[in-house]
A = this chain, B = another copy of it.
Amino acid sequence: MKKVKIGIIRTISFKDRKLIELHGKIIEKYFPDLQVISRYIKDQPRGIYDENTKRIAVPKIVELGSQIEVKEKVKAIIVSCADDPGVKELRKLLKIPVFGAGSSVAAISLSYGDKIGTLGITTHAPQIMREILGEHLVAETKPEGIKTTLDLMTNEGKSNALKSIKYLKKQGAEVIALACTGYSTVGIAQELEKETGITVLDAVIASGLFAWHFTRKLL
């Protein structure tokens, strides 16, 4: 089967190749028409979790995106961070479509319902998600004790995430948009969905859906 090659930019510096490639593997599993090339930004072992870590990440993301468009001839690029760092900049520079995990998960949630709650690693959802969700954003939160994406990889992180979903549901949320791709790394969406009976949307899968759809005519 001919596959469409796309690129994914991880916004964290993992040493473990398996961890670097994990989001790409998730997308390949859900969208077997895609082949995903993974790249990551250097010198940010804790990823992006505030304005400063975003600011220093953007030029690295733009550089990686520009490189893989030319060298790897990918047909689309995903920036795997719910803050969409570098997405606007890359869209201006590149000829291929660029998807951000944050705009993607916000967009998909609006197709499914109109009262959206966000679960991130900061109190507020990233700006791009707040912008897109607008008045449909009914509640936003983060699990207790979580500061960076790495904290989600602990049992305590997972159990606090469950509490957070219950809180969002209580606030009137009918759909949850996961506002950090660290939740994809731990693969928690289905688990949270099962335990709470509310639809929980994964940001990496959302971006994969759009990358698949917009590159399909190339198959």
Contacts and interface: CB of A to CB of B under 8 A. Distances in A.
Interface of A: 88, 91, 97, 99, 103-104, 106-108, 110-114, 131-132, 134-136, 206-207, 209-210, 213-214
Contact of A132 (B104, B110, B206): B110
Nearest to A92: B174
A91 to B, nearest CB: 7
A133 to B, nearest CB: 9
Contacts of A207: 111
A210 B108 contact: yes
8 contacts: A91-B113, A103-B111, A104-B111, A108-B213, A110-B110, A111-B207, A112-B210, A132-B134
A86 B107 CA distance: 21
Contacts of A97: 112
Contacts of A209: 209, 213
Nearest to A110: B107
A111 B108 CA distance: 8
Report whether over half of chain A's contact residues are helix, strand or loop; otherwise say mixed.
helix
Nearest to A214: B112
Task: Give the most central of A88, A103, A107: most B CB within 10 Å.
Answer: A107
Contacts of A104: 111
Given A131-B134, A134-B134, A107 B114 contact: no
A81 to B, nearest CB: 15
Contacts of A135: 131, 134
A214 B132 CA distance: 20
Contacts of A132: 110, 134, 136
Contacts of A134: 131-132, 134-135
A99 B175 CA distance: 14
A107 to B, nearest CB: 4
Contacts of A106: 110
Contact of A111 (B99, B112, B113, B114): B99
Contacts of A107: 107-108, 110-111
Task: Give the most central of A88, A99, A104, A213: most B CB within 10 Å.
Answer: A213
